[in-house]
Amino acid sequence: MKKLIAWFKDEEGQGMVEYALLVGLIAIVVIAGLIILGPRIRYMFEDVADTLPAV
């Protein structure tokens, strides 16, 4: 019984799992942002590229 309780209290790897979840969440937010803002950014760069030869 003591080994089972010790196994449940063991926190090795907890920090690594938390960092992995955090990195996964950040990746999801970045991907969602690129999907939402991607076309706007592309059109902005196209406008800049079209304006540069005229300068």
- pTM attached to this predicted model: 0.58
Per-residue pLDDT, 22: 97
What is the percent of the chain where pLDDT is above 90? 55
3-state secondary structure the chain: CHHHHHHHHCCCCHHHHHHHHHHHHHHHHHHHHHHHHHHHHHHHHHHHHHHHHHC
Residue 41 has pLDDT above 80, yes or no: yes
Residue 55 has pLDDT above 70, yes or no: no
Interval 15-29 mean pLDDT: 94
